[in-house]
Amino acid sequence: MQRQFFIQSQRSCGKMADCEVQKLTDEGVVDGKANRRMIHTTAQKLTMKNYNDYDLKIGLGLPNIRSIMSKYEMVCDIIRGELDIFVLTETWHGSSDEFAVRCAMPPGCKFVDYVRPHDPYHGGIIIYFKKEFIYKPVELPAVITFEAVAIKLRVNKSDFILLSIYRPGSVPPSPSFFSELANVLEVLSLLSEEIVVAGDFNVYMERKDDPNTVSLNDVFDCFQLVNRINEPTHELGGVLDLIVTFCSFPIFNSLIFPSGV
């Protein structure tokens, strides 16, 4: 069986094909446009666990939304489209029972989330996914330098772990960030042969000689992981939002679109 991931990442956009930038009222907008670009990545892997001769296509979206409170209708519309999994960072929600969190979820979906305990209504992560996917929350080691939530998904007899990360850009990466990330990845690598990491790392990956970029790549190398995004994801420059997979998980297509597309 061939499993395909169509991975899209955007900052505070509306619909995938037509970002409704006029509705954006939070930070992260420059001259009326969302300041994160949209990434569309296509990945494909041959999986021997299933011998059916057909393709399984999974649509995965990743926006840094900077508050779901005023954008839940757009989120719901996006999920209703061709997405099977939608990972949101910087959701700024105060609880799992928040009105906007529930209203953003179309029928036939579930979600898991992370609420920043010491500062609700900032940070935060939500993963929406199709109800037919068998899932199990994954317990992660305690971390203090970033936010994270992980689930193990089974789709048509094929398993993978999805880890979502948000590291606040208000503080520079510390040595503890890299050690905590390595600890999390070590735990996950013992639980699954396939890991997909989707998140906002706020590390400038295009700066190859920057010590933080070198340290993050060193962590990825230790686990044979590779970042699939190599073009700026921010209108002002910077590869900040990453899709990371095992080296053996090939990416066939990666497109970067202006935020208004």
User: Tell me, what's the pLDDT at 155?
Assistant: 83
**pLDDT of 166 over the 50 cut:** yes
Residue 52: which CATH number?
3.60.10.10
The C-alpha angle with vertex 190 and arms to 189 and 196, in degrees rounded to 5, equals 30
Mean pLDDT, range 52-78, rounded to an integer: 80
Task: Give me the mean pLDDT over the 159-175 stretch.
Answer: 96
The domain containing residue 106 runs over which residues?
Answer: 2-257
Residue type, 154: R
| pLDDT given at position 186 | 98
- Res. 53 pLDDT band, cuts 50 70 90: very low
User: How many structural domains does the chain have?
Assistant: 1
Q: Indicate if the pLDDT at residue 170 is higher than 50.
A: yes
Q: What is the pLDDT, as a whole number, of residue 18?
A: 29
Q: Using alpha carbons, select from 179, 165, 127, 185 the residue that is nearest to residue 242.
A: 165
Residue 7 has pLDDT above 60, yes or no: no
What confidence category does residue 143 fall into, taking pLDDT thresholds of 50, 70 and 90? very high
The pLDDT value recorded for residue 69 is: 94
Q: Is the pLDDT confidence value at 179 over 90?
A: yes
Nearest to 9 by CA among 71, 86, 61, 84: 61
Supply the pLDDT for residue 247.
78
pLDDT of residue 6: 53
Contact status, residue 24 vs residue 34, Cβ threshold 8 Å: yes
Better-predicted residue by pLDDT, 242 or 175? 175
Look at 17-26, 120-129, 201-210, 249-258 and tell me which has the smallest mean pLDDT: 17-26
Distances (CA, A) of 245 to 57, 73, 224, 233, 251: 17, 30, 8, 18, 9
pLDDT at 41 over 80: no
Query: Residue 45's pLDDT is what?
Result: 35
